[in-house]
Amino acid sequence: MFAIFVLVFGQAALAQSLTSSLLPTDARSMALGGMDVPCPTDGIDVRLSFGKWAPYTSNSTIAGVKISYARSGRFVAGLDLSSIKGQQYNISNESGTVKELYSPSDTYFGVFGELSFNESFYGKAEIKGAVSNIGNNASGFSVLGILKAGYRSAGLDAGVSLQAGGPISYGGPSYSTPLVVKAEASYSVSSLTGLCELGYEAVSGTPIAGIGAQYKIKDIIGIQAGYHFGKVVPSFLSLGIGASYRGISINAAYLLLNKDLGNSFMLTLGCNF
């Protein structure tokens, strides 16, 4: 049954679970190859997202809500809830008779915070619980954490991050969860922002890399493009567009040049007040 779960979410290694925690759950992040442009806007920000991941193969549905509060560019705190649900598959008995249909899913619920120590240096942390269901009477729970140390100055935002979590069991043996270390950077000049990242996923022993760019027109329209290189999350090229006006925003992303992930998409509606 775990092998079925792997196929549903497009995972690469049978000894690993919760790799869905590495998927982008926001349209702008998906459009930038899985990276994100920092948003230091003060106030309360609410984002609702919906999308399809690998619609021609796993046909997984991604949905999420993210609520954050930022103050004076020095403090950010928030809640993040997301769900990745796979397509239905048949559960059969030993004679091959279909007993029922089941949709595997991963659900994440977390809290995060960011604190600026001075005008340049900041730290960021997130902790989230993960509930994974791969069949009737086959579910597990784990806790994942992300830590980041960063530096901001004159358009530059750079840092290093670590994602780690405890093992997860579905009633039998335990499986490892992703262990990722990354170096990330973005640089903005006028209306153009460029991003890059380089990392390593230790459980699968595979590298992660990405590049992306965003161009803003009159601070209303944003056009994004990105490329993600990886194995746990397969490589993909991404395009996106978004618009924001008086605190309301909408963003869309689309993946291409990958036979498994092609036609994946994400929509995000946001409100800042």
Domain spans in the chain, listed from the N-terminal domain onward: 2-272
CATH second-level architecture of 2-272? Beta Barrel (2.40)
Which DSSP letter does residue 16 get? B
Cα–Cα distance, 139 to 78 (Å, whole number)? 27
pLDDT digits (tens, 9 = 90+) for 86-101: 888 766 666 666 566 7
- Helix, coil or strand: residue 137: coil
Other CB atoms within 10 A of residue 259 CB: 9
Nearest to 164 by CA among 127, 122, 212: 127
pLDDT digits (tens, 9 = 90+) for 153-203: 988 999 999 999 999 998 888 999 999 999 999 999 989 999 999 999 999
pTM: 0.88
